[in-house]
Structure 1
Amino acid sequence: MQARIIATERVHADRRDWRNLRGMLPYLWEFRGRAAVALMCLVMAKVATVGVPLTLKGIVDAFDGTKGQVLVLPLSLLLVYGALKLSNALFNELRDVVFARVRYRAMRRLSTRVLEHLHALSLRYHLERRSGAVSRDLERGTRSVSTILNYMAFSVLPVLVEFGLVAAVMLGRYAPIFALVTFGTVAVYVAFTLAITEWRMDYRHEMNRLDSLGNGQAFDSLLNYETVKYFGNERMEIDRYDATLAGWEEMAVKSQTSMSVLNFGQGAIIALGVTLLMVFASQGVVAGDLSVGDLVLVNALLLQLFIPLGFLGVVYRQIKYALADMDLVFKLLERRPEIADRPAARPLAPGSGGIRFAHVDFHYQPERPILKDLDFHIEPGQTLAVVGHSGAGKSTLARLLFRFYEVSGGRILIDGQDVRDLTQASLRAAIGIVPQDTVLFNESIYYNLQYGRPEATRAEVERAAGMAHILTFIESLPDGWNTVVGERGLKLSGGEKQRVAIARAILKRPRILIFDEATSSLDSHTEQAIQQTLAEVAEDHTTLVIAHRLSTVVDADHILVMAQGRIREQGTHRQLLEAGGHYAAMWDLQQREGSSAPAVNG
Structure 2
Amino acid sequence: MTTTQAGKGPQSEADREIIRKAAPRRGPGGGGGPFGGMGMPAEKSLNFGPSAKRLFGRLKPESLGVALVLLLAVVSVTFSVIGPKILGKATDTIFTGIIGKQLPLGLTKEQAIDAARARGQGTFADLLSGMNVVPGHGVDFTALGHVLLVVISLYIAASVFSWLQGYLLNGMVQRTVFRLRRDVEDKLNRLPLVYFDRQQRGEVLSRVTNDIDNISQSLQQSMSQLLTSLLTVVGVLVMMIVVSPLLAVIAVVAIPLSLVVTTVIAKRSQKLFVAQWRHTGALNGQIEEAFTGHSLVKVFGRQPEVEKTFEDKNDELYNASFGAQFVSGLIMPAMMFIGNLTYVAVAVVGGLRVASGAMSLGDVQAFIQYSRQFTQPLTQVASMANVLQSGVASAERVFELLDEQEQTAEVERAVPIASTAGRVEFEHVSFRYLPDTPLIEDLSLVAAPGQTVAIVGPTGAGKTTLVNLILRFYEIDSGRITLDGVDIREMTRGDLRSRIGMVLQDTWLFGGTIRENIAYGRPGATEEEILDAARATYVDRFVHSLPDGYDTVIDAEGSNVSAGEKQLLTIARAFLADPSLLILDEATSSVDTRTELLVQHAMAALRTDRTSFVIAHRLSTIRDADLILVMESGRIVEQGTHEQLLQAQGAYFRLYNAQFAGAVVDEEPVAPAGPVQR
2:250–2:345 contact (8 Å) kept in structure 1: yes
Give the structure 2 partner of residue 341 of structure 1. Answer: 410
Give the structure 1 partner of residue 430 of structure 2. Answer: 361
Letter in 2 for 1:20: R
Deviation at 1:491, TM superposition (A): 4.3
Give the structure 1 partner of residue 130 of structure 2. Answer: none
Deviation at 1:33, TM superposition (A): 3.2
Q: Distance in 2 between matches of 1:34 and 1:102?
A: 7
2:55–2:395 contact (8 Å) kept in structure 1: no
Give the structure 1 partner of residue 334 of structure 2. Answer: 265
1:235 counterpart = 2:269: no
Q: Distance in 1 between matches of 2:517 and 2:283?
A: 31
1:141–1:327 contact (8 Å) kept in structure 2: no
2:534–2:572 contact (8 Å) kept in structure 1: yes
Q: Which secondary structure does the structure 2 equivalent of 1:341 belong to?
A: coil
Q: Which secondary structure does the structure 2 equivalent of 1:407 belong to?
A: coil
2:629–2:636 contact (8 Å) kept in structure 1: yes
Give the structure 2 partner of residue 4 of structure 1. Answer: none
Give the structure 2 partner of residue 131 of structure 1. Answer: 201
Greater relative CO, 1 or 2 (CA 8 Å, sep 6+): 2
Deviation at 1:389, TM superposition (A): 3.1
Match of residue 96, structure 1, among 166, 175, 182: 166
Q: 1:89 to 1:25 in 2, by over 3 A?
A: closer
Structure 1 or 2: larger helix share? 1
- The percentage of aligned residue pairs carrying the same residue is 32
With 75-84 and 571-580 compared, the bigger mean Cα shift is at 571-580
Deviation at 1:344, TM superposition (A): 4.7
Letter in 2 for 1:516: D
1:421 counterpart = 2:487: no
Give the structure 2 partner of residue 52 of structure 1. Answer: 83
TM-score under structure 2 length normalisation? 0.80
Q: Which secondary structure does the structure 1 equivalent of 2:522 belong to?
A: coil
1:393 counterpart = 2:393: no
Q: Distance in 1 between matches of 2:239 and 2:413?
A: 63
Q: Distance in 1 between matches of 2:152 and 2:333?
A: 35
Q: Which secondary structure does the structure 2 equivalent of 1:17 belong to?
A: helix
Q: Which secondary structure does the structure 1 equivalent of 2:47 belong to?
A: helix
Unaligned runs of 5+ in 2: 1-43, 98-133, 666-678
Letter in 2 for 1:116: D
Q: Distance in 2 between matches of 1:411 and 1:180?
A: 76
1:41–1:91 contact (8 Å) kept in structure 2: yes
Letter in 1 for 2:491: L
Unaligned runs of 5+ in 1: 1-8, 597-602
2:472–2:493 contact (8 Å) kept in structure 1: yes
1:32 counterpart = 2:66: no
1:121–1:339 contact (8 Å) kept in structure 2: no
Match of residue 411, structure 1, among 468, 474, 480: 480
Cα-to-partner distance string for 1:572-599 (whole Å, 9 max, x where unaligned): 3333344444334444554456899xxx
Q: Which secondary structure does the structure 1 equivalent of 2:535 belong to?
A: helix
Match of residue 210, structure 1, among 275, 279, 285: 279
1:222 counterpart = 2:291: yes
Q: Distance in 2 between matches of 1:584 and 1:238?
A: 46
With 84-93 and 439-448 compared, the bigger mean Cα shift is at 439-448
Q: Distance in 2 between matches of 1:443 and 1:298?
A: 66
Q: Distance in 1 between matches of 2:658 and 2:204?
A: 45
Give the structure 2 partner of residue 5 of structure 1. Answer: none
Match of residue 276, structure 1, among 345, 358, 364: 345
Larger Rg: 2
Letter in 1 for 2:651: H
Cα-to-partner distance string for 1:187-212 (whole Å, 9 max, x where unaligned): 22122112211112222222332232
Give the structure 1 partner of residue 122 of structure 2. Answer: none
Q: Which secondary structure does the structure 2 equivalent of 1:46 belong to?
A: helix
Q: Distance in 1 between matches of 2:509 and 2:156?
A: 57
Mapping for residues 286-305 of structure 1, pairs under 5 Å: 286-305=355-374
Deviation at 1:568, TM superposition (A): 2.2
Give the structure 1 partner of residue 101 of structure 2. Answer: none
Match of residue 533, structure 1, among 598, 602, 625: 602
Q: Distance in 1 between matches of 2:510 and 2:275?
A: 34
Q: 1:553 to 1:409 in 2, by over 3 A?
A: same
1:450–1:456 contact (8 Å) kept in structure 2: yes
Match of residue 185, structure 1, among 233, 237, 254: 254
With 12-21 and 409-418 compared, the bigger mean Cα shift is at 12-21
Q: Distance in 2 between matches of 1:347 and 1:147?
A: 47
1:556 counterpart = 2:625: yes
Letter in 2 for 1:25: L
Q: Distance in 2 between matches of 1:544 and 1:215?
A: 37
Q: Which secondary structure does the structure 1 equivalent of 2:518 belong to?
A: helix
Q: Distance in 2 between matches of 1:550 and 1:47?
A: 82
1:431 counterpart = 2:500: yes
Q: Which secondary structure does the structure 2 equivalent of 1:32 belong to?
A: helix
Give the structure 1 partner of residue 227 of structure 2. Answer: 157
Q: Which secondary structure does the structure 2 equivalent of 1:364 belong to?
A: coil
1:348–1:427 contact (8 Å) kept in structure 2: no
Q: Which secondary structure does the structure 2 equivalent of 1:489 belong to?
A: coil
Give the structure 2 partner of residue 499 of structure 1. Answer: 568
Q: Distance in 2 between matches of 1:219 and 1:333?
A: 23
Q: Distance in 2 between matches of 1:594 and 1:475?
A: 39
Cα-to-partner distance string for 1:74-105 (whole Å, 9 max, x where unaligned): 11222222222222222222222222221111
Match of residue 384, structure 2, among 295, 315, 318: 315
Cα-to-partner distance string for 1:210-246 (whole Å, 9 max, x where unaligned): 2322222222111110111011111221112112222
1:380 counterpart = 2:414: no
User: Number of residue pairs matched?
Assistant: 583
1:34–1:98 contact (8 Å) kept in structure 2: yes
Give the structure 2 partner of residue 41 of structure 1. Answer: 72
Deviation at 1:299, TM superposition (A): 1.1
Q: Distance in 1 between matches of 2:249 and 2:662?
A: 93
Cα-to-partner distance string for 1:545-571 (whole Å, 9 max, x where unaligned): 222223322332222222332222222
Cα-to-partner distance string for 1:424-450 (whole Å, 9 max, x where unaligned): 111111111111222323444333322
TM-score under structure 1 length normalisation? 0.90
Cα-to-partner distance string for 1:483-525 (whole Å, 9 max, x where unaligned): 4434453443321221111011112122211112223334444
Give the structure 1 partner of residue 670 of structure 2. Answer: none
Q: 1:23 to 1:432 in 2, by over 3 A?
A: farther
1:189–1:270 contact (8 Å) kept in structure 2: no
Q: Distance in 1 between matches of 2:477 and 2:83?
A: 73
Q: Distance in 1 between matches of 2:607 and 2:401?
A: 41
Give the structure 2 partner of residue 600 of structure 1. Answer: none
Give the structure 1 partner of residue 112 of structure 2. Answer: none
Q: 1:168 to 1:227 in 2, by over 3 A?
A: same
Q: Distance in 1 between matches of 2:230 and 2:433?
A: 55
Q: Distance in 2 between matches of 1:283 and 1:508?
A: 89
Deviation at 1:285, TM superposition (A): 0.8
Mapping for residues 159-178 of structure 1, pairs under 5 Å: 159-174=229-244, 176-178=245-247
Give the structure 2 partner of residue 20 of structure 1. Answer: 54
